[in-house]
Structure 1
Amino acid sequence: MLTYLAAALPRFASPAARLLALQCALRANSRGHVHMPAGLLRGMRLHGRRELWEELAHADWLRTSGPRSSVPGVQLLDAALLDQTPGRSARRRAAHWALRPAPVRLPAAAPPTLRLVALVLAAHMSSAACQRTDMDVLAWLCGHSRHQAAELLDRLVVTGVLAAWQHDRDADEVLWQLPRTGRRSIASLPPSSTVHDQAR
C-alpha cells in the first residue's frame, strides 16, 4: 500500500497527508467509502487538520462530504485502489499495525515526518539483525529527497528509535539496527563513509 500511495500521490504531498491517505486506503470499503472516527484521528494527532483532507482532495485522490465537517465522510476516487488484492479484514489489521508499527517504537508525540519514516522502515523489517533497503526506495516511499531521508534517520537515532544507521554507498542501501541489538553489533555493518550512531 505504501508503494501504491507513493505512485498515486503527488511528490509534494506532506507526510501527514500520506499517513492519512494510508489509513483511508486501508479502511475503505468495497465502494471506496471511508469513515474515520474522531478518536482515531486524535490518536494519530490529525484531528481538526482540515488542510490534510483538502490536500488529498486537491490531488484528486478523494472527495469529502463538506467543507465544515472536521471528520468528513470520504469517497476515494482512485479506482485502482479498490482492485488491491488484500481483503478488507487484512487491510484493517494492517491499518491498526500502521498506527504502531512494531518493532519500530516511536514516542507518542513524534511528528508525522518521523512516523512515516518509521513506518516505511518497519514495513521493510526482516528477521535479520541488520535491516536494509534501497536508499531511493526509502526516499520515494516517504516523499522526501535522499538528503531529507538521511536527516530523518539521524533524528530517529537521536530519539533512540534506532540504535544506528548507515548508508552503504556501494550498494546504495540504507542499513539500520534497532536499539535491542546494541551498540556492539554496529561493527558488523559494512564499512561506509557515513555511520550514524546513537547520540549520548
Structure 2
Amino acid sequence: MRLCTLRPHVRRTWTVELRPQRGGPMLYCPLCTSDGHALLAPAAQPAVLAHLAQHARHEPLPAHLRTCQCHERGCRWHPRHRGCAGPVLLVLTRERGGRLWRLSDICTACASATPGSAVVPDVSPTPPSAKPATSPPKARRARVPRGARPELRVRDMLSYLAAALPWPVSAEARLIALQCALRASAPGLAVIHAGLLRAMRLAHSPAPWNELEQARWLCLLPDHLSLQRPGGVAVRLLDAAVHYQEPARRDRLHAAGWAMRVVTQPELRALPAEARLTALTLTAHHYSGTGWCTSVETDRLLRTCALDRSRLAAALDLLVAVKAIATWTVDPTTEDLHWEPPPGSAFPAHEVS
C-alpha cells in the first residue's frame, strides 16, 4: 500500500485589476469575488497594495518551500534572460499603466528582468490573530537573528517605494518615506526626530510630508501623539505592506541609520535631494549580495529615484563634481549604468558590518 501525504496548495501569486468606471475605479480580485469594489481615484493604489498584502499575510509559506512563480509559468512576465538565479523574493509588479498589479514569489534574476517590478519587504508569517501574551517573556523578547546587510534592506525598500509612491513624489519625500518605513513599529507608527531631519536637510519644509499625505501613503498624527518628543514628526503609515515587515525592527533601525549616514556625508550635505537620493541608491546597489559591483540597470535607477534621463545625468554630474564618484557611463548595448568610486575611497561610505 502506498502512503502519501496531502499538503494543501499555498498560492504565492496574487493579481488585482483596476477597471476604470465613471464613478471611480473598480478593484477586481479573482480570488475574492466576481463583483468589484468601488474606490475613490486617490485611494486606488493604497487599496490595491493593502489587498495584495492581506493575501500574502493570510497565505504564508516558509522560505525553503518558496519557488519562482515566474519560472513555473514559463517566464512569460519578462524578456528572455540567462535563467533563474538568486534568492526567491516577494515582488510587486505594475502592468498596463497601473491597471494590473501582481504580487508574487520571483527569483532575483527574473525580478531584475521584469519591467515595472519592485521587491517588497517580506510580510510577517505570524497571523494577525496570534496572541503574543500567551508566549513566555523570553520568547517575546527574542530577536530575529540579523540576516541581510543593511545595504540590501535599503535597496529593497527603495525599490518597493518606487512602485508604492506615485512618480511625481519628490526626492525629499522619498528620503523621508524610506526613514518612516524602516523605523515604523508593527502597527505602522513612526516618529522622525527633528535632529534626524536637520541632519538630512529636510527640517524646514512641510512640502514633503504633504506630498506623502496626498499620495495616501501616510497621515500626520496630532502633536499630543508624538510620544513626547519635541520637534519630532509622528505619522501613521497607511501602506499595509510596511506594517508587517521582517526582520526584527532593531535590524530595520540599523538599516535606517546606515541610510542616514550615507546621505549626510560632508560632500553630499549641500547637494539637492535628487543627487543625495541617487548617491544613496548607488551605494545600496554597490553590494549585490554576492560581492561588490559598480553597475545597475539604468531603468531601475530611474524608477527608484523618480527621475528622467536628463535629471539623472545632472545628479550624477554633481556627484562627480563633489568627488562622491569618479566617473559614470552608460553601456550602449545593455543600457546599464557603470560608475567608479573615487581613488582611495572606502566605498560604500560608512559601511556597517
Coarse TM-score class (shorter-chain normalised): 0.7 to 0.9
Q: For structure 1, which runs of at least 5 residues remain unmatched after alignment?
A: 183-200
Instruction: Give the alignment's Cα RMSD to 1 decimal.
Output: 2.2
Whole-angstrom distance in 1 between the partners of 2:285 and 2:240: 27
Bigger CA radius of gyration: 2
Aligned residue type for 1:42: R
Query: Paired residue for 1:163?
Result: 326
Query: Paired residue for 2:183?
Result: 27
Q: What is the correspondence of 1:43-192 to structure 2 with a 5 Å cutoff? A: 43-66=199-222, 71-101=232-262, 106-126=267-287, 127-128=291-292, 131-180=294-343
Spell out, residue by residue over 1:65-109, the C-alpha distance to the aligned partner (whole angstroms, 9 max, x if none).
Answer: 249x9643200001111233232111101101101239x874332
Q: Which runs of 4+ in 1 moved over 6 A?
A: none
1:23 offset after TM fit, Å? 0.5
Asked whether the 8 Å contact 2:158–2:178 carries over to 1, the reply is yes
Whole-angstrom distance in 2 between the partners of 1:155 and 1:72: 30
Q: Which has the higher contact order (CA 8 A, sep 6+)?
A: 1
Q: For structure 2, which runs of at least 5 residues remain unmatched after alignment?
A: 1-156, 346-353
The structure with the largest helix share of the pair is 1
Spell out, residue by residue over 1:124-180, the C-alpha distance to the aligned partner (whole angstroms, 9 max, x if none).
Answer: 10354x600000001100011122212211111122111101100101100000102
So what's the TM-score if we normalise by structure 1? 0.82
Asked whether the 8 Å contact 1:136–1:146 carries over to 2, the reply is no
So what's the TM-score if we normalise by structure 2? 0.48
User: Is residue 2:169 matched to residue 1:13?
Assistant: yes
2:194 aligned to which of 35, 38, 60: 38
Whole-angstrom distance in 2 between the partners of 1:44 and 1:106: 13
SS in 2 for 1:166: strand
Spell out, residue by residue over 1:4-42, the C-alpha distance to the aligned partner (whole angstroms, 9 max, x if none).
Answer: 111111100000000000000011011110111111111
Aligned length: 179
